[in-house]
Structures are given as C-alpha cells and as structure tokens.
Amino acid sequence: MRQHHRELLIFAGAAAGNRDAAKDIVQDSFVTAWRKFEDFDPNRDFSAWMRGIVRNKTKDWFRRMQRNPLADNDFIDLEVDIADWQAARDQGHSVFELIDQCIGKLPVNFKTAIRTFYFEERTGEEAADALSISPSNLRKRLERARALLHDCLSSQINTAPAAQPQPEQSHV
C-alpha cells in the first residue's frame, strides 16, 4: 500500500479531477484489493492491477456524482504517462524531481497558479482570489500550465539517460 499510494492518488486525481474524491477512490480501491487479493495473478504487474481497480472505482464515482466519466482513451493516456514515469524511476530519476524542474521552467504566472492551487491546496475560488484573477482565468492558466508540464515531462523522460550499470564485484 505504501509503495503504490502516491502513484494511485495521482492517477485517481487526474482521472476524477477532484483531490478529495481521489483520496476516497484510492482508499476504496485498497479495500477492494484486500478483499479480492486471492484473485490477483502474481504473474501480473501489481501496480497495473491496482490502477485497474482505481479506474473502475473512478467510473463508479462518476456515476454516483451523475457526471460523465473519462473516455477509455483518456484512461489509456494516463496509463501511458504512468508507464513513462515508472520507466524514468527505474532509470534512477525521480518523477517528482523532474516535475520540480519543469515547474521551474514555467512562465511566472503559470508557476504561481500551479503553486497556489496545487501546493497550497486551495480551492479554485481561493486560488483565484489570492492571485487577484477570475476563476475562469485561473482554470485557463492551470490548463495551459498542465499542457506545458506534460510536454516538458515527456521530453525529460524520453531524453533521460539510462541508469549506469554498476560494475560487478569480485567474489574472491
């Protein structure tokens, strides 16, 4: 649970677009995984199995909220992004360090919007008030910032050098 919690929160948050819902979805997903653990095929990737449970719980959440869920293609895009993040992590790169680097490259107004909304965990209204802009302007800045971050992360992950193999130690 500890190993996959943050990744699943990011996945659920991206899918649901709601931080509080993401926490509930992930918690519910872990309960479901615990109950169905005997159904888990150890030859499968555990992280992918958990994301499948989160995906289904997210769709359930959308139905309960009477909202339109993400299209399956959007979930596939999220899966591809997570696979890229995992590959970068496996090569010795922290996705969170890469995110920090990319945030640092954003124009000031986008960087401020990201920090105010996400890092200070303010609502859209609160963040817009703090920045003295309208909520619709905040949404547009966040949308553009996320697009720039996505492009930056994709570029960083795809150009990150592979981890250097460690020399074998002699067993003399």
**CATH (domain of 20):** 1.10.1740
CATH number of the domain where residue 106 is located:
1.10.10.10
What pLDDT does 156 receive?
76
Q: Would 1 be classed as within a structural domain?
A: yes
Q: Are residues 40 and 102 in the same domain?
A: no
Residue 169 lies in a domain: no
Are 19 and 13 within 8 A, CB to CB? yes
pTM, rounded to two decimals? 0.48
Please tell me the predicted confidence (pLDDT) of residue 118: 80
CB contact burial 8-24 (16+ within 10 A = b; e otherwise): bbbbbbbbbebeebbee
User: pLDDT-derived band of residue 113, with 50, 70 and 90 as boundaries?
Assistant: very high
Torsion angle of the four alpha carbons 31, 37, 39, 41, in this order, in degrees rounded to the nearest 10 = 130
Q: Using CA atoms, how far apart are residues 78 and 12, in angstroms rounded to an integer?
A: 10
pLDDT at 94: 65
Comparing 129 with 20, the larger pLDDT belongs to: 129
Q: Which residue stretches of the chain are H helix?
A: 2-16, 19-35, 46-64, 72-90, 95-105, 108-114, 124-131, 135-159
Residue owning tokens 């677009």: 17
Residues 7 and 62 in one domain: yes
For the cut 60, the answer to whether the pLDDT of residue 172 exceeds it is no
Considering the domain architecture, whether residues 67 and 125 belong to the same structural domain is answered as no
Give the domain-ending residue among 72, 100, 120: 72
Q: What is the pLDDT of residues 56-77, one digit of tens each?
A: 898 888 888 877 666 666 667 7
Count of domains observed in the chain = 2
Please tell me whether residues 50 and 97 are part of one structural domain: no
Same domain, 123 and 57: no
> Which domain, by its residues, includes 110?
91-162
pLDDT digits (tens, 9 = 90+) for 131-165: 999 999 999 999 999 899 888 888 877 665 544 33
The C-alpha angle with vertex 53 and arms to 49 and 58, in degrees rounded to 5, equals 140
Query: Quick check: is 63 in a domain?
Result: yes
